[in-house]
Amino acid sequence: AEHMETINRETLQADFDAFDISEEFGFLLEEPLVSFIVTFSFLITIDIFCLYSLCRMSLMPVLIPNLLNDHRELSLAHLALGFISMGYVWQEGQHAPAQVLPKALAVPYWLISRRLGLPPILTYADSVLSNWKLRDPTGNMEIGNMDLIFSFPGGESCRGFFIVSLLVELAASSGIGALEVMHAMKSSDVAGIQNGLVKVTQSLKKMKETFKLMHSKFKLNLSPIFVSGWRDNPMLPNGLLYEGVSTEPMFLSGGSAAQSSAIQCFDALLCIQHEDETGAFLTRMRDYMPPAHCQLIETLSARPSLRDLILSCSSSDLCQAYNSCVSAMVDLRSYHLYAVQKYIIGPGNHTMGCPLRGVGTMLNDKGTGGSNLMGFLKGVCNTTKKALISERPSVPRENVMSFNI
């Protein structure tokens, strides 16, 4: 047993390395840099909201990021340029967005994005997974000790939104049990599959409880225009031109929770199949995730179906573990739906840029109303419910372990 434990730990560590995740931090970037040693340091030291005028942009040098080699340096540069670019595009508000991103921003942003395998726009991975630091480096990762590297106007409300989102992602770290399920399936280890599902269930429950902090500790009064993208956006119907990069405008989606690597990993593990436009949209959102995270989702998706395995197995305990996990996912999505209805749609907060709002216009080109977002969230919640196994078919005992993985 001790030998098997060593093998399992070594296998899991190899997965952690391959998919750029960790047992402690999950999908979060571990210990993000907060400053540069080389020429990009001025992006950190100045007030980024002083950069949003055309005259200042024309005076900025076009920086070539050839001195940035470390992954964390590149991530910080992508984060900084993302916040500055979003501020520049939306500096005049939703009625007069910039049509062109100046080459001083566009060129280094494009080059850094290519090296990271990310698009040149502020993503969920930037603003949530990579955008954190500890006020007291010796303290714990708890809400009172967390701070952002970059933030938008909005004070504690904005800070709270992103930090709670980050802590929700941190709560997903125990959901690395998904990897345990994947490896247990290879050896037809029913107990291992069940134990992994229990860990994922616990993680999903913790994510929901952490999500509640957003509304219990912070008054949501967001002006989220700054995370709006330029795809399927009626305010930028022709996209955004990246000067010095392309002669044609680009069409890129803004950051949203649909880009959460953790949630899509759990969907893939549990074989939750989102269909038609919703499924296509969620698949496209993987282009906005770190490539290693996207690879993990695709690896889980390519495995034989866990749900089919359970349907072919007579273990009621395994079936219950699976249903508990799916139910926890339904609860998380239901609370997300409730929170959007109460705190975003209900108050009439249809201003551009809500970090939860980006999905709406991406899925529907008719407008930016909250009803589109609500339709999306209701759809993914209902699809998740359909994964529940209502009745376990009777299977002869001799077939319990006959599935091939």
Specify binding-site residues for heme b: 336
Cα separation of 61 and 42, whole Å?
A: 11
For residues 339 and 405, give the distance between their C-alpha atoms in angstroms, rounded to a whole number. 40
Whether residue 76 contacts residue 117, with contact meaning beta carbons closer than 8 Å, is answered with: no
DSSP designation for 248: S
Residues annotated in a binding site? 336
Residue 148 neighbours by CB distance under 10 Å:
17
Strand partners, 40: none
Closest by CA position to 181, among listed 207, 209, 201: 201
* Cα–Cα dist 222/220, whole Å: 6
Residues 267 and 276: their CA atoms lie apart, in Å, by 16
Which candidate, 207, 257, 217, 276, places its Cα nearest to that of 357? Answer: 257
Calculated CA dihedral for residues 105, 111, 115, 119, nearest 10 degrees: 60
